[in-house]
Structures are given as C-alpha cells and as structure tokens.
Structure 1
Amino acid sequence: MEKTLKILVVDDELDRMAVRCALTQTGIQMELSEVGDSSDAFSILSTTAYDCVFLGDRLLGQDRLNLIHQLRSSRIKVPLVVLIAQEDKLAVELLKAGATDYLSKSRISPENLAQVLRSVIRVYRAEMQADLAKDQLRESHQQLIHKNQELEKQRQQLQMQNFKLSEASVLKSHFLATMSHELRTPMNAIIGFSQILLRPKFGQLTHQQADMVERILNNGKHLLMLVNEILDFSKLEAGRLDLKAEIFDVSKVINLVVDEMRSLAEAKNLSLLVRTDLQNSLIFNDPVRVKQILINLLSNAIKFTESGEISVEVKELSANRVTIIIRDTGIGIAPKDFKHIFEAFWQVDQTLTRKYPGTGLGLAIVNLLVRMMDGKIFLESKVGVGSMFKIELPRQITLSALGNDDLPLQLDRDRFFFSVKNPHHSSSQAR
C-alpha cells in the first residue's frame, strides 16, 4: 500500500494506546485518529473519509451495533473492524449488521493488524468496484429503457406513416383507375369521329383539313395509349388485373408486333430483325399481355435508338420455358440507373425539357406483368452502346396467376400439354 492510510480507532484511552502501538509497528504508512465513543465517531465519519475504522470492545455492544446501523443507513461506506474479547454471538451480529471483519483482542499484533488491514481494504475496494459496476449497469439499463421507449415511439410513428401511405396508395390507385376509365370514353369518341371524318364517303376534306384531322387522330391515339398505361398500372399495383390465358403461337404474336412497330423503326432508318429458334411455338399465357410486353419493350428500343438496329430473338431455355430477347444499339443505361429502371414514373432524363417523352410506366408495367406470369426479366446495358432486355417465361402459367373467369380453360390446357408432347401435331388440331 503506497498511499498513507487514514485510520480511526474508536475505544477508551487505554485500549486505544494498545491498538495505536501495534498499528505503528506494522510498517504501513498511516495517519491515526482516535475518539472515545460512538457519537464522536459518527460525527467525524460524517465529515471525514477514512480508509479503515477499528471499533474497540470497551464500547458497549449496543453502541457498536447502533454506530454500524447509523453509518450504513447514512450510506457512509468505510471498512469496519471490530475488536472483541472473545468470539461469540455478538461478533456474528456485528458482521450481519455491516462490520467488515473482526479480530480478537488476544490476537492484536502488528502482523495480524497489518494482515486484517490489507484484507478489509482489499475487500472494501472490491465492493466499491462492484457497487460502481452496479450503478453503471443500472444507468445503462435506464438508458436502454429510455431508448426502447424512443424506438417504440418511432415504430408507432412509422406504423402510422405506413398506414397513411398505404391508404394514400389505395386512394391513388382508385383515383387513377377511375379517372383513366372516365377519360377513355371521350378519347374513344374523338378517335372514332376522326376516323369517320377521314373516310371519303363522308365527304372530301381539303388537304389542310385532312392533315388537321389526322393530327387529332394521332394525338388521340397517343393520349389513349397513355391513359391505358395508367389504367393498367393502377390495376396491376392494386392486384386487380387478371390474366386471360389461352393457347397461342408466340412466334406469330412476335411477328405481328414487329410488323406493327416496323413503320416507327423505318421512320428513324432503323433495321428491325426477328430471329426464332423454337421447336414448338405454342404457349399457354395471355396473348394480349405478352403483346403488351413486347410493344412496350420495342417502343422503348425504337425511342432510345438513333441509328443501327433492333433485334427480337425468341428461343427455348428448356422443355417448359422460353426466352424473348430484345437488343438495341441505342443510348444505353448507366449502371447506377439499373436499380431504378423498373420503377413507376422513373425516366433517365427527369427534366421538364427531356428529349424522350412518355409516362415512365412502360418498364414498370412490363416488370409487373412478367412477375405475374412467374417469369423473370434481365437487363444488360452500356452507355453509348445499347441495351438488352431478356424475358424468361414458363410455357404454361399456373392457375394461381389467373382469375376465376379462366378456370374453364383447363380443357384447353390438357390439349396444350398434348401438343407439347407431340410437337409435330398441327396447331389447328391443338387448338
């Protein structure tokens, strides 16, 4: 023990001298203080810190007990060594009350006092460290409780926000579906009347009038396409769009779409190629939605390609899956935009003066439809080189992807399975 210890001896004068003499011979650096009764001891211990207190047996037993109780109830922590005439029940009581150790007066010697002093101080320091650790644990526990309460508040707030967002999303989808439906009726009327005006039997229009009506017709069709996109997306997002599956020739659907889109490609001097590698081109799916997927992907490819070519390739992956690959030599997509490309209303150029128009729903609809068909979609692209969209679809979609209206098609599916097993069976027989 390097530091000078402060020791208090509480006893009558005669016994204090004996204890003092033994303590001074221990070789331990100490500063001794002495008092003669328990009240003086309590007063001095209330204001001054000591490293150890020796309580002599000249104090009445009850006085020592009272002093120990007073010190402990006042949360005055100090090692207490009681000196006893003999080991009896009183020693046990004193230890239970809070004394640290005891020593028989017959064993008072410099060696024993030094040993007891070192022992009680070591125990006391260990207790202080344990108390400090408990206080720290208690404080940490309180902090954790506080943090948990804060997290619970945040969780409840997030839950409320999620509920509000979900409610807003439902309202948005309902609004889009309602408005899209309401807009389609007048747009169909505009398109219909424009087509009637362009027929010669309803009167010959001047060149200028015909040009104006054609503009009305083309813009009406374009607007109707945008409205249909919004309506389809809102239905897909709300889970209200059902697939109407039937057996059809996927090669014919691809060729039909390519023929429809060829004029757009030729207007930009783009080559539009088709490659088919299928032993059996019959699949069980929704031909209207497969066509919609192809139109959206080809429209994007033509829109974002200024020169070069666009190709459509269809081939078998296995006996029960086919893949459709659309490549272009367009502007390409940066890797940082890959994670956003299938998000609704997202476009590479988000400015109001963007070069390429559109709702930003085409790829979002494609992604949702492909997933609905239990298929997969993959993207490869390089800025300035071009993009490749690959779609993998099962040859027959499961009934879980269909609405109740399609359940009677089970017979057609059985005939479809027969045609798959017999690829040389004619398509007309298969239907």
Structure 2
Amino acid sequence: MKKTLSALILGDKKADGAIINYLKRSSLNAETLIIQDVGAAKRYISEHHCSCIFFDLDPLDDDGILLVKRLRLEGVLVPIIALTDQGDEKKILNLIRSGASDCLIKSRLTPDSLTASIRNAMNIYQAEQLARETQQQLRQKNSLLQQQNRELEAQRRQIERQNLRLLEANRLKTDFLAVVTHEIRTPLNAIMGFSQILKSQSKGPLNDYQVEMVSRIFANGQNLLRLVNDILDMSVIESDRLELEPDAFDLNHLIHETLADLKPLADKKHLQFKTTINLEESEIYNDSRRLKQVLVNLISNAIKFTDRGSINIAVDAFEPQGIEITVEDTGIGITAEQLDQIFEPFYQADQTIKRHHAGTGLGLAIARSLVAMMEGDITVESQVGQGTTFRVSLPRTIADPIAEG
C-alpha cells in the first residue's frame, strides 16, 4: 500500500485549487488541508502529523519571510514549499536562506514540477532527519562515554588510592618483619650458643638423656633460625635493600661444599646425590654466598619432597657465556596448575603437603628473586608422581655494583 502524503496548504482555498488538483493527479497519494489563519496552522502542525507545508500567503514579503523563520525556530522541520506569483530571484533566495525548502512560481507550475519539488524536498528532509537522529544518537553515546569515562577515572583514582594504601601496608609489614626477625634472631643465637656449650660438656658431664635433649634444642633452634633468616631475606628483597657482593669462585667447589652441608638431611631419608659437571672452566664471577643460598633452597626442597630415589645435580655450559645448573628429584611432583604459583611467597601446593613438610614457603620465592638479581633465570618442570626439575641459568660474569656506582 502506497504511503499517504499529508499536505497542509497555508493559503486561500480558491487560489490554491490548482495545487490541490495537481496533487490529486500526481503519483504522491496526497491528502490536503487548507488553512488560511497562521495561528490555526501552527496549532494543527503541533497536534497532527504533517508531511509538508505549502505556503501561499505572500511568501516573498517581509512578513512571509519572518513567518518561515519563526516556524523553523519553533521546531517545524517538515518541508516548507512557498508558492508565489512573483519571480524576484533575490527575494526567492532570501526565502530559501530563511528556511524554505523550495519556492515555486505559480505561473510555471505543472503536475510534474510540483511532484519533483515535493519529492526533492522530502528526500532532503528525510536525509536531514536521519542526520539529526544520527547526531542525537552520537550525542547520547558521547554523553554515555563521558559518563563512563568519569566513572572509570573515579575508579582509577580509587584503585590508585587503594594501591598506595596497599603499598604502605606492605612497607609497614616488611619493616615489621625485619624488626621482629632481628629481635628474634638475637635471643635465638644465644639459645643455640648455650646449647652448643652444654652439648660440648665443657662445663660438666651430661647423661645420655640430657645430651639428646640438648641436641634437640640445637636442631630445633637451627630450624627456627632458617625460618627467621628466610623471613628476613624476603623482607630485605621486597624493600629493595638487598645488594649483591660479587666475587670470583670455583663453581665446582661451591656445589660440592653445598652437597656436603646437606648430606646429613639426605642420609636421613636414604637419598643419594648424583652430580654431573660438564665445565671446562669452573671459575665464575658472581655472588657465591647468594648462589649457595639458592642451591641450598633448591636441593633441600628436593630432599624435603622426595622419599626415595636420588637428587641429581648437573652443571653445563650455557651459550653464549653462561652456565646452567639443574636440580632434579624423583619426588612427589607438582601439578601444572600449581607450577604457575610455585615461586609466589608463602605458597605451598596444598595443606596436606604443608602439614607433612614444614616450612614458610619462602625458599623458592627467595631463590627466584636472587637469581633475577644475579642476571639469571629460573624455570621448573614437573610431573606428579615422577619428580621435579629446576633449571638455573646464569652468566659467568655479572656486573659489579660497586664499579657501576
């Protein structure tokens, strides 16, 4: 069904009979209404749908031009086609500039020219209407985006404030741990010192039961001291106060020295150390004390989680100028999900492991941080029930912080 064109004719019924006749003969399917009073026309436009307006009340005089301007200012957006008996081009141009869609000279009017004018005006109106709707949508979207940006900015500021609070809380925690561990270590060293004196029996003999109790005191003191040292190291690392002290040393000797220190732990579980060192030159320049700490953490960790089998330590050249240390065990292994968190501070795979294998969960976190400071990298591979392999890659020579300073 063809859409109906609703046309309002603002003019005289007798004078505009030709317009009505032309509209009826056109293919526009038009319905017309003639209103002579401008006020009545405005009320009609405000209350009814109107496709276009024909204006035939002296449109080229000042009042006509003013009326067109007023209609546009009052929000009348539909096409306004002026009808005039005159042919004054300047006045017609002025009328168009004031808001008229077209101006037709009655003496030249034909059904075809009228139809063409209406269609052209309607096409322009529809294009402008689409543009207005698009602009409105853009304004709404822009307003929404601005609101979202304001909300995001508020959230960013809130997150920033929270981060600052968290950083401050973390700093306070780190400082607190540093102070507490220092305070604990002092009396702990005294306890261990006195237990060694008692164990030596230099101040008098002890019976077997007393010797066993003193040995337990010393052993537990050592365990506690290791935990305290781990916490202290982590607090120093987190506060960026740890400095390396590079020195030249024999890596082969350092590894065998470390294994000798840990052999009693391995012997208790009947575990064997197997070493393979494939280096033509074993001297490197790094922080020997911190590298030994990394090795102790990795190897003692392997002992802790291995009940049978062996701990394999291998050292190979790593191109272009580096070394790779591998610590491989035949222990319980780690799941793929747990591998992602294994280097996080205080992390242990699950509570069952934590109950059976005491510790702070700081060893691997400390190892990773120290290796990174030594310009190296540490990786891990594992399969549940088959064991775990840690690989530490390091340069043979690291930069001397004192020389850099």
Q: TM-score range by the shorter chain?
A: over 0.9
| SS of equivalent residue, structure 2 residue 123 | helix
Q: Which residue number in structure 1 is paired with residue 48 of structure 2? A: 48
Q: Which residue number in structure 1 is paired with residue 78 of structure 2? A: 78
| Distance (whole Å) between structure 1 residues aligned to residue 242 and residue 143 of structure 2 | 52
| Distance (whole Å) between structure 2 residues aligned to residue 319 and residue 136 of structure 1 | 61
| SS of equivalent residue, structure 1 residue 198 | helix
| SS of equivalent residue, structure 1 residue 76 | coil
Alignment of 1:262-281 (within 5 A): 262-281=263-282
Q: How does the TM-score come out when normalised to structure 2?
A: 0.96
Answering whether residue 285 of structure 2 is matched by residue 284 of structure 1, we say yes
Alignment of 1:387-398 (within 5 A): 387-398=388-399
Alignment of 1:49-64 (within 5 A): 49-58=49-58, 61-64=61-64
Alignment of 1:140-289 (within 5 A): 140-289=141-290
Structure 1 residue 156: deviation in Å?
A: 0.5
Write the deviation string for residues 113-143 of structure 1: whole angstroms up to 9, x where unpaired: 1111111111111111110001001111101
Write the deviation string for residues 5-58 of structure 1: whole angstroms up to 9, x where unpaired: 111111123212122122222132111100123233222212222111111154
Q: Report the count of equivalent residues.
A: 404
The answer to whether the Cα contact below 8 Å between 2:60 and 2:95 also exists between their aligned partners in 1 is no
| SS of equivalent residue, structure 1 residue 315 | strand
The answer to whether the Cα contact below 8 Å between 1:248 and 1:283 also exists between their aligned partners in 2 is yes
Write the deviation string for residues 40-92 of structure 1: whole angstroms up to 9, x where unpaired: 32222122221111111546723322332332222122110001223322212
| SS of equivalent residue, structure 1 residue 54 | strand
Q: Which residue number in structure 1 is paired with residue 122 of structure 2? A: 121
The answer to whether the Cα contact below 8 Å between 2:9 and 2:34 also exists between their aligned partners in 1 is yes
Write the deviation string for residues 307-338 of structure 1: whole angstroms up to 9, x where unpaired: 11111111222463111111100011111112
The answer to whether the Cα contact below 8 Å between 1:80 and 1:101 also exists between their aligned partners in 2 is yes
The answer to whether the Cα contact below 8 Å between 2:59 and 2:65 also exists between their aligned partners in 1 is no
- Higher mean alpha-carbon deviation, 113-122 vs 191-200, is at 113-122
- Higher mean alpha-carbon deviation, 206-215 vs 313-322, is at 313-322
- Higher mean alpha-carbon deviation, 41-50 vs 242-251, is at 41-50
The answer to whether the Cα contact below 8 Å between 1:68 and 1:99 also exists between their aligned partners in 2 is yes
| SS of equivalent residue, structure 1 residue 201 | coil
Distance 1:60 1:201, change over 3 A: closer
Answering whether residue 334 of structure 2 is matched by residue 294 of structure 1, we say no
Q: Which residue number in structure 2 is paired with residue 311 of structure 1? A: 312
| Distance (whole Å) between structure 1 residues aligned to residue 335 and residue 59 of structure 2 | 91
Q: Which residue number in structure 2 is paired with residue 364 of structure 1? A: 365
The answer to whether the Cα contact below 8 Å between 1:10 and 1:38 also exists between their aligned partners in 2 is yes
| SS of equivalent residue, structure 1 residue 202 | coil
Indicate the percent of aligned positions where both proteins have the same amino acid.
41
Q: Letter of the 2:47 partner, please give it.
A: T
| SS of equivalent residue, structure 2 residue 382 | strand
| Distance (whole Å) between structure 2 residues aligned to residue 7 and residue 72 of structure 1 | 17
Distance 1:313 1:27, change over 3 A: closer
Distance 1:240 1:286, change over 3 A: same
The answer to whether the Cα contact below 8 Å between 1:54 and 1:81 also exists between their aligned partners in 2 is yes
Answering whether residue 54 of structure 2 is matched by residue 20 of structure 1, we say no
Structure 1 residue 163: deviation in Å?
A: 1.0
| Distance (whole Å) between structure 2 residues aligned to residue 71 and residue 353 of structure 1 | 83
Q: Which residue number in structure 1 is paired with residue 140 of structure 2? A: 139
Structure 1 residue 351: deviation in Å?
A: 5.8
Distance 1:135 1:158, change over 3 A: same
- Higher mean alpha-carbon deviation, 275-284 vs 12-21, is at 12-21
| SS of equivalent residue, structure 1 residue 347 | coil
| SS of equivalent residue, structure 2 residue 14 | helix
| Distance (whole Å) between structure 1 residues aligned to residue 74 and residue 141 of structure 2 | 26
Structure 1 residue 353: deviation in Å?
A: 6.4
Alignment of 1:369-408 (within 5 A): 369-399=370-400, 402=401, 404=402, 407=403
Alignment of 1:88-99 (within 5 A): 88=88, 89-99=90-100
| Distance (whole Å) between structure 1 residues aligned to residue 378 and residue 265 of structure 2 | 25
Alignment of 1:319-338 (within 5 A): 320-338=321-339
Q: Which residue number in structure 1 is paired with residue 35 of structure 2? A: 35
The answer to whether the Cα contact below 8 Å between 1:326 and 1:388 also exists between their aligned partners in 2 is yes
Write the deviation string for residues 277-328 of structure 1: whole angstroms up to 9, x where unpaired: 2111111111111111111001100000011111111122246311111110
- Higher mean alpha-carbon deviation, 150-159 vs 105-114, is at 105-114
The answer to whether the Cα contact below 8 Å between 2:54 and 2:80 also exists between their aligned partners in 1 is yes
Which ranges in structure 1 are unaligned for 5 or more consecutive residues? 411-431
Q: Letter of the 1:65 partner, please give it.
A: I
- Higher mean alpha-carbon deviation, 28-37 vs 219-228, is at 28-37
- Higher mean alpha-carbon deviation, 60-69 vs 362-371, is at 60-69
- Higher mean alpha-carbon deviation, 239-248 vs 362-371, is at 239-248
Write the deviation string for residues 385-428 of structure 1: whole angstroms up to 9, x where unpaired: 011111111111112xx3x4xx49x9xxxxxxxxxxxxxxxxxx
- Higher mean alpha-carbon deviation, 142-151 vs 164-173, is at 164-173
| Distance (whole Å) between structure 2 residues aligned to residue 318 and residue 110 of structure 1 | 91
Q: Letter of the 1:165 partner, please give it.
A: L
Q: Letter of the 1:53 partner, please give it.
A: I
Which ranges in structure 2 are unaligned for 5 or more consecutive residues? none
| Distance (whole Å) between structure 2 residues aligned to residue 314 and residue 393 of structure 1 | 11
Q: Letter of the 2:266 partner, please give it.
A: A
Q: Letter of the 2:176 partner, please give it.
A: F
Q: Letter of the 2:62 partner, please give it.
A: Q
| Distance (whole Å) between structure 2 residues aligned to residue 333 and residue 168 of structure 1 | 32
Structure 1 residue 95: deviation in Å?
A: 1.2
Distance 1:392 1:353, change over 3 A: closer
Write the deviation string for residues 124-176 of structure 1: whole angstroms up to 9, x where unpaired: 11111110001001111101110110111011111111111111121111111
